[in-house]
Structure 1
């Protein structure tokens, strides 16, 4: 192939592959769903291979699409970094930090408040990401990710070891004295974690209990914790995310360690902006402090 496909085609594929939605990709790029679909089809014609499997109500990547996506995202990241290095972000460009909503609300909020008092002239911008795939290559100076810290091309600093334990409203905790008491309550599940209710119950010797409990599954910890705080059930969450909260308590002090955790990350190939470096250093220094 003598020339690269047009950039708009590449952008359309990257956005659609990351979101697995032509509609979401169009919203992100400011064009219609039909425009994204057309650009992807033109790209597939140029490459001579299908990139997506089109299901009636969803998309999935073909093996070729899966293999090509990381290289394309890395190329976009390098382009963004090169532009930043040569032209800079401008004196008024805010430091962008991306993380999950529950981490923003609990661990991050008090630290950012203190940072703002110490550095009032540094503009900050927070961006939410719920799933690992939401952490894209563009736009953020720093990120707080959840996982095992093995991301290629990123400098990662652990925010500490993690353990999962049950939490609920104070009024509900009076009726939960042992793990067996959970059988009378709704278990609130947040998908996407290595240590969920089945793993926790197995660790405390009650592997079969999960099948006897009522359950409600949410796609984020924000919702499970909100429901738990209102007496809607028992959530399983990280100890650090409920420290200092008056609306949630841990009725059972039985934390189960997880090999996943929160990590502060940034691109490893370029020197950070001075403002971003200050925020990085502040968050690294405050890792062990309470909220």
Structure 2
């Protein structure tokens, strides 16, 4: 072959081969079972050979997969060792915290100033993740993830239960007094959340709301909140994400509980660097003090 397959495909195969489970591999790498299956299938297509025998409830390696796995694992080990030899240990590297843009802007930003004043010597690097596949143990010391808190190989601390409520610009809220009034406004949808507008409308007693405006669907909650603040519609969001904003108010005081929540997450298998441990413990203290 003229070029190696993409690293994500190789990581998917190595994790699935080691655990003999696409589901476990997905949990380890922070992606879905379907994403692992797709990457392995693409890898098999690239190599021209099957790597797994797919049984109804299990996996096993083909002879080709068994033969290739040790070489691949050895390659990952040598790559890590070579990186350390050339660039040294990463103890002085910035502490990397990865989360979604909406959490960065609406939850993290109001709190970082206090941490910086308390620990001015700690360098921080913030990294954005938009889709679930963007998350994973590689490349980040700490993450703030959204979900149910079940990630294999990860230590997770809940930021607390949360509710979803409709928000909009203050001027727009003055024209909304009951759920049926939402039919006159654009509903702003953010994909990827278990609790969305259908769930909220059913809880509010208007499951068959006949909206006179076409919905607007965005791939990030940051965009729905920006549009809502501009008066372009009603966004459904978590209360904690708008607690520090004065350009958005509750359109209706009607909240819906969600089984999903925000979690402070870090890899459990390796000791944290001192600087990363400082940030982790500081964030945990803030949660314990009720400043979530």
TM > 0.5: yes
CA contact (8 A) 1:163 1:257 kept: yes
List, as ranges, runs of 4+ consecutive aligned residues in structure 1 with deviation greater than 6 Å.
40-43
Quick one: distance in 2 between partners of 1:210 and 1:192? 23
Check 1:94–1:83 CA distance in 2 against 1; reply closer, same or farther (3 A cut).
Answer: farther
Report how far residue 227 of structure 1 moved.
Answer: 0.1
Report how far residue 12 of structure 1 moved.
Answer: 5.7
Counterpart for residue 13 of structure 1: 9
Report how far residue 270 of structure 1 moved.
Answer: 1.1
Counterpart for residue 164 of structure 1: 164
Quick one: distance in 2 between partners of 1:189 and 1:196? 7
Q: 1:15-164 counterparts in 2 under 5 A?
A: 44=45, 46=47, 48-49=49-50, 89-164=89-164
Quick one: distance in 1 between partners of 2:49 and 2:147? 36
Check 1:240–1:216 CA distance in 2 against 1; reply closer, same or farther (3 A cut).
Answer: same
2:248 counterpart of 1:248 = yes
Quick one: distance in 1 between partners of 2:146 and 2:165? 17
Quick one: distance in 2 between partners of 1:42 and 1:148? 30
Counterpart for residue 257 of structure 2: 257
Check 1:184–1:156 CA distance in 2 against 1; reply closer, same or farther (3 A cut).
Answer: same
Quick one: distance in 2 between partners of 1:10 and 1:165? 41
TM-score between the two structures when normalised by the length of structure 2: 0.74
Quick one: distance in 1 between partners of 2:2 and 2:276? 33
Report how far residue 251 of structure 1 moved.
Answer: 2.3
Quick one: distance in 2 between partners of 1:91 and 1:6? 36
SS in 2 for 1:286: helix
CA contact (8 A) 2:164 2:238 kept: yes
Quick one: distance in 2 between partners of 1:171 and 1:115? 35
Counterpart for residue 173 of structure 1: 173
CA contact (8 A) 1:44 1:50 kept: no
CA contact (8 A) 1:166 1:251 kept: yes
CA contact (8 A) 1:197 1:210 kept: no
Report how far residue 189 of structure 1 moved.
Answer: 0.3
TM-score between the two structures when normalised by the length of structure 1: 0.74
